[in-house]
Structure 1
């Protein structure tokens, strides 16, 4: 594979060039109980940009706004050369129902807040962060399109939403002549492959670039957790202010997942790489993935993550990783892929399909 951060990729159905690994800025600031202080965050930013990286991901509420504020300071001298992605819809003020959600009031207020915090006149890529199942899609899309027409946002995207809603939104945008969605953020890793059922195929068909979050499954794929952690998980409070507690609260420590990690470690040893590099490289080799988002807290972690760009798997190694992490695609996918269904559709004919 042997990529570099300045081996840029087009994002979905746009002409926007982005690095193959995005720098996640949710670790910029310590307000959540973990993360990087300002000086350390600056080192992460500088290291990423010096290597040719240009794709930086944040959100209006990451570390209570510190993430955007720090990026606003760090990007003073090179704003034009960077692709800044932020998100809206998570609650910005506790107790204020309209400070969160996907509706127009939340959208415009959140964007204005992000522009101030990022110290910029425009946002390169704006994601709807969390689907709230309450706002008409026409309201969302028209609001996004208005912001694009005003020049405050250049491209729009979506994260954490059902595949059928995303495809519906894309169809509505196309029919109305509104700004199309160009990217989809989903959780995707060797441990979380549910996106392969509908979200990733949908993104391919509808022209959205896939930018996975948590490609290392909250650190589980780095190999730092063991079965001792699994046994002790019940005694760890989900709100004790550590990254480990968040991982446990999400249910990421299971026998299945630790079995996946064992194979990741085996492949890493064979390649002379770290487990984290193998986990990240697995997402990178998927042709449907544009740019996984990495969330390092120290320069050493970031250096290690960037090493994933240089990992080359053998066919056998990829097969082992795929096999240990495989999921059932469920109905109708498994049925349609069966020999019975193929016979009913094609009979004995051989039909070659190409993408």
Structure 2
């Protein structure tokens, strides 16, 4: 396992983080603890969760593991707040009141008195940004969190937050957690340059495109069985009908499989290694239902794609940006800025 600094902070995290959305739902507690054990044994030190994952059960499962694991003291803990956990009208958003209660509840479920990275799970258009950032600055000063970051923010939202925090002399955000994969590259237009400009690290989620980049799905054959799309073909952004109908999807998968076969590795490892090698990426978030899935994904840590492999993957998955304002000189400037990053 390799390590990088958590954005502009001085804390080092493994280049592959353990996402725990499956804990308490697709993975029971015994399996979840096995996944955590294997992740720690492989050198991983960065656990990502959220209060809403399985209605708090994910945090509780991690908390019970921390009480018995010899590796607990080495783990960098990240969680999120923003969405409701109950029916109170104020149990929502990024207000001081909600974040205070949400953070305290996360600390209790995790069984700790401090969280390393506290992330705003998504933008809140109804709460003044100054109110949210003021709370996060105070939470750092109180010793409840070390750093904070955002998830699912756009480029302008991220840049506005950084500008306000800098102007007020408050602690700055260190990370952004966006969806990013060979199938989903729209963040390269605005979000990646904004993160690079702010010195923030990216923590990509869904790097396997909701399972599409594992190579387990077949063209025009609807998935079945114990997979996310097998259980729910219309699941969110990775819905079967939409992606199956796009030729780009299958062109990307074909190249991933060709490289995987040539390197004698899994398709998942190729797709993960491509994301890990992109500019501004600090740590790629892995999700697993089983220890076997985790083992295959973690093997990506030892896979270094050649420049030729990266170029093939980047070309076949190139996003279709509009000519204006992203075409012509704009895209050339963006490419130079991204390539000149980390």
**Residue 205 (structure 1) shift:** 0.7
Structure 1 length normalisation: TM-score? 0.87
1:73 corresponding residue in structure 2: 64
1:17 partnered with 2:23 = no
1:84 partnered with 2:73 = no
1:158 corresponding residue in structure 2: 150
Judged with a 3 Å threshold, the aligned counterparts in structure 2 of structure 1 residues 260 and 60 are, in CA distance, closer, same or farther, namely same
Matched residues in 2 for 1:48 and 1:250: separation?
A: 34
What RMSD over aligned residues (CA atoms) do the two structures have, in Å?
2.3
Structure with the greater alpha carbon radius of gyration: 1
5+ residue gaps, structure 2: 334-338
Judged with a 3 Å threshold, the aligned counterparts in structure 2 of structure 1 residues 249 and 264 are, in CA distance, closer, same or farther, namely closer
Deviates more, 1:243-252 or 1:47-56: 243-252
Matched residues in 1 for 2:12 and 2:73: separation?
A: 13
Secondary structure of residue in 2 paired with 1:97: coil
2:303 corresponding residue in structure 1: 311
Picking from 39, 45, 65, the partner of 2:30 is 39
1:263 partnered with 2:234 = no
1:344 corresponding residue in structure 2: none
Secondary structure of residue in 2 paired with 1:180: coil
**Residue 241 (structure 1) shift:** 9.4
Picking from 202, 215, 218, the partner of 2:210 is 218
Matched residues in 2 for 1:59 and 1:354: separation?
A: 33
Aligned residue pairs, count: 328
Matched residues in 2 for 1:55 and 1:211: separation?
A: 11
Judged with a 3 Å threshold, the aligned counterparts in structure 2 of structure 1 residues 12 and 268 are, in CA distance, closer, same or farther, namely same
5+ residue gaps, structure 1: 342-352
- Map 1:54-203 onto structure 2 (within 5 A): 54-76=45-67, 77=69, 78-93=71-86, 95-203=87-195
Judged with a 3 Å threshold, the aligned counterparts in structure 2 of structure 1 residues 252 and 82 are, in CA distance, closer, same or farther, namely farther
Matched residues in 1 for 2:98 and 2:202: separation?
A: 25
Picking from 28, 33, 42, the partner of 1:51 is 42
Matched residues in 2 for 1:293 and 1:106: separation?
A: 26
Matched residues in 2 for 1:250 and 1:60: separation?
A: 31
Judged with a 3 Å threshold, the aligned counterparts in structure 2 of structure 1 residues 130 and 249 are, in CA distance, closer, same or farther, namely farther
Task: Note if contact 1:60-1:114 (Cα within 8 Å) is conserved in structure 2.
Answer: yes
Secondary structure of residue in 1 paired with 2:170: coil
Secondary structure of residue in 1 paired with 2:58: helix
Task: Note if contact 2:3-2:14 (Cα within 8 Å) is conserved in structure 1.
Answer: yes
**Residue 266 (structure 1) shift:** 0.9
